[in-house]
């Protein structure tokens, strides 16, 4: 938890993550998890962007910088979960995704890098909202109960991040 006189960054959703035990080696589900690992809308994108934000916001917005750092660690945990799921379903968990049977490696060019505080926070909210839409879409088509429960748990974290970012916005308005 990061605190100041006006800001608290409680990144924890006090619920455990489900064990990573997919029901089968479903190639389609493995590709979906790879997309969560290394596509333009992925955990790797969030990790790298929040790392960047934590660097450029310090020292002017030191509490926001610390919060972005802590959130990047949560996103790294999500990255590990999705990579482990993909691997357990038979996929190679590199930083890539597969589209139209072609592998595309993750690149930092997927990120937008705003430098103004409001734009940084709004960009982060948009990324979290896109991740939530993606994970909800995946839960609607995936029939593996373990994967669905993992996606639902991760959505809770992403929703918490939006709350935090909205709190940041309210403090700079």
pLDDT tens string 14-58: 999 999 999 999 999 999 999 999 999 999 999 999 999 999 999
**Four-residue CA torsion sign, 94, 127, 74, 85:** negative
Backbone angles phi, psi at 8, to 5 degrees: -125, 135
The pLDDT-based confidence of 6 (bands split at 50, 70, 90) is low
Inter-residue contact 150 to 99 (CB < 8 Å): no
The pLDDT-based confidence of 12 (bands split at 50, 70, 90) is confident
Instruction: Decide if 14 is inside a domain.
Output: no
Residue 3: is its pLDDT beyond 60? no
How big is the CA angle at 119 (ends 49 and 43), to the nearest 5 degrees?
25
**pLDDT single digits (tens) 89-142:** 999 999 999 988 899 999 999 999 999 999 999 999 999 999 999 999 999 999
Determine the pLDDT at residue 99.
Answer: 85
The pLDDT-based confidence of 4 (bands split at 50, 70, 90) is very low
Residue 153: is its pLDDT beyond 90? yes
Structural domain count, the chain: 1
Instruction: Decide if 17 is inside a domain.
Output: no
Q: What is the pTM of this model?
A: 0.95
State the Cα–Cα distance between residues 60 and 57, nearest whole angstrom. 6
CATH number of the structural domain spanning residue 126? 1.20.1260.10
Instruction: Decide if 123 is inside a domain.
Output: yes
Residue 75: is its pLDDT beyond 70? yes
The pLDDT-based confidence of 2 (bands split at 50, 70, 90) is very low
* 58-67 long-range contacts, CB within 8 A, separation 24+: 61/117, 63/2, 63/3, 63/4, 63/7, 63/9, 64/7, 64/117, 64/168, 66/2, 66/9, 67/2, 67/7, 67/9, 67/11, 67/164, 67/168
Determine the pLDDT at residue 56.
Answer: 97
Instruction: Decide if 70 is inside a domain.
Output: yes
Range of the domain at 137: 25-97+112-172
Instruction: Decide if 8 is inside a domain.
Output: no
């Amino acid at each position: 938890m990061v605190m100041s006189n006006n800001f608290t960054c409680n990144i924890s959703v006090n619920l455990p993550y489900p064990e990573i035990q997919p029901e089968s080696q479903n190639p389609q589900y493995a590709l979906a998890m790879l997309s969560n690992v290394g596509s333009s809308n992925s955990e790797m994108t969030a990790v790298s962007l929040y790392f960047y934000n934590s660097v450029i916001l310090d020292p002017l917005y030191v509490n926001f910088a610390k919060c972005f750092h802590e959130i990047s660690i949560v996103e790294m945990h999500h990255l590990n979960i999705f990579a482990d799921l993909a691997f357990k379903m038979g996929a190679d968990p590199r930083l890539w995704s597969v589209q139209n049977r072609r592998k595309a490696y993750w690149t930092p060019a997927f990120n937008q890098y705003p430098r103004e505080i409001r734009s940084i926070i709004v960009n982060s909210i948009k990324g979290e909202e896109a991740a939530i839409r993606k994970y909800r879409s995946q839960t609607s088509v995936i029939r593996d109960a373990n994967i669905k429960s993992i996606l639902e748990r991760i959505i809770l974290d992403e929703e918490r991040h939006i709350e935090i970012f909205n709190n940041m916005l309210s403090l700079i308005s």
